[in-house]
Chain A
């Protein structure tokens, strides 16, 4: 009502909501409960969706919906909720695109994704984590991997990494940025190289 408000109060409201979401609690929940489901989620999407080029976009949209719902109330347990969101998203897309028949997603309930397995023990998790990190590193381009190792393991500064690799600091930036993007995909999106 006030004539002093910004021209776009809706945008302003969205903005403040998004900031309100950036609470450590919600991020913590997302990292702890949702991201570890990503490999299973990608498997599910891959099996259910014919257009492979859209899988990452779908995954992102699932995260958006999950977090917007979690902002109101964090769902427990996370797993059935995340997969229900994914299923609904696919149904939405099917209706919208008229390209795939509704049967494509009709057997989603048969996936049994809501079943909670007993968690692996701590040692098994440490071993698994090690394997996963190793796999992720192995998949990076050699120069990017080198930059990551110098940064993470030897704790070098950008300047030192640049000297060590004989490149400029901006190139170090490029390598690390690419590595960060790729690590998220392999660490969360891909199943373990070896079966646990």
Chain B
């Protein structure tokens, strides 16, 4: 209350902020006695400024929990440590692993341009294309639209996903794990099946079953162990892992049947998904319609069906210019 009267001098935000950080730090350190706690409560209740300053530093500190992996140049961080949460129930599980990593966009391998090895084999799909590769060990790789994948000529258990998106159904061999390198990261299957997607500056890995490890090749940071439901987004220096329902992750695999499944996706994102599969490009420039939400299952190669649906369901205007279509209000 004290500082709110218009005539009162402003309280010193820096001093209060530092006190708030000191309290937070003391609580973080632990060993808080009853006396400490009383002092802390007293400080908190002294003014609303103390309270809001404390909420603010605590909220920021909790936000930093979302850092689950960070590649640092610091030597101190190179020492591998055991992952904090080791979900032992998955360790015992020998079930199939499905990992999703995804590669979108044209940029592709920003961080990684591995020297071409002799006898590497390159597989590619065009926009809207799909391709299935069966390896000699029985493993299957399905390439999605606009994708480039190279298979190591000398080591048939190693591939580079240079661009695009692929689903891996891998014959598991504990002594010779299958490795995918994409966007400067290495994904090693610790189960049997996985799926990968990559952007110009990031990589997505989602695990549906089993286990896989994800590590940043350049940074020598510790590998992250992914378990079912984990959805990782990795950039050059940082990996964030969140949990999603496995059913949602399975929707991301619907392209294998030639369909796109949207659940509460924005029109702008749905349009860019369609643009990955089709020469005809959808443009959503109007922010008023870009945020509209869509649910539905659509054939990936049928832009017209999608346009019809959004026109009638969302009451938007579609201007078809042949090679592109503009969606507006």
Chain A residues close to B by CB (< 8 Å): 14-15, 17-19, 21-22, 27, 30-31, 35, 54, 56-61, 63-65, 67-68, 92-93, 95-96, 117-119, 121, 123, 126-127, 129-131, 133-134, 136-137, 142, 145-146, 148-156, 158, 164-165, 169, 173, 176-178, 180-181, 183-185, 187-188
Contact = CB atoms under 8 A, between A and B. Distances in A.
A130 B238 contact: yes
Given A18-B51, A118-B290, A165-B76, A129 B66 contact: yes
Contacts of B64: 133, 136, 148, 152, 183, 187
28 contacts: A31-B59, A60-B17, A61-B3, A63-B49, A64-B3, A118-B266, A118-B290, A121-B291, A129-B240, A130-B235, A134-B235, A136-B64, A137-B67, A137-B70, A146-B74, A146-B77, A149-B70, A149-B77, A150-B77, A152-B64, A153-B67, A153-B68, A153-B70, A156-B81, A164-B76, A176-B25, A181-B17, A181-B20
Interface in B240-293: 240, 242, 265-266, 268-269, 287-288, 290-291
B55 interface: yes
A154 B77 contact: yes
Interface stretch (B7-15, B168-176, B313-321): B7-15
Nearest to A122: B264
A31 B60 CA distance: 9
Contacts of B238: 130, 133-134
B4 interface: yes
Nearest to B291: A118
Interface string B15-37: 01110111011101100000000
A181 B57 contact: yes
A68 B48 CA distance: 7
Of listed A19, A64, A126, residue having the most chain B CB within 10 A:
A64
Contact of B52 (A60, A92, A119, A183): A60
Interface of B is mostly: helix
Contacts of A17: 1
Interface string B96-126: 0000000000000000000000000000000
Interface stretch (B39-47, B134-142, B177-185, B298-306): B39-47
Contacts of A173: 25-26, 29
Contact of A149 (B61, B74, B269): B74
Interface in B44-92: 44-49, 51-53, 55-57, 59-61, 63-70, 72, 74, 76-77, 79, 81, 84
Given A146-B76, A149-B70, A60 B1 contact: no
B202 interface: yes
B233 interface: yes
B237 A134 contact: yes
A61 B290 contact: no
B46 A18 contact: yes
A60 B59 contact: no
- Top 10 nearest A-B pairs by Cβ distance? A118-B291, A92-B6, A181-B21, A57-B10, A60-B13, A177-B25, A56-B13, A184-B60, A63-B52, A180-B21
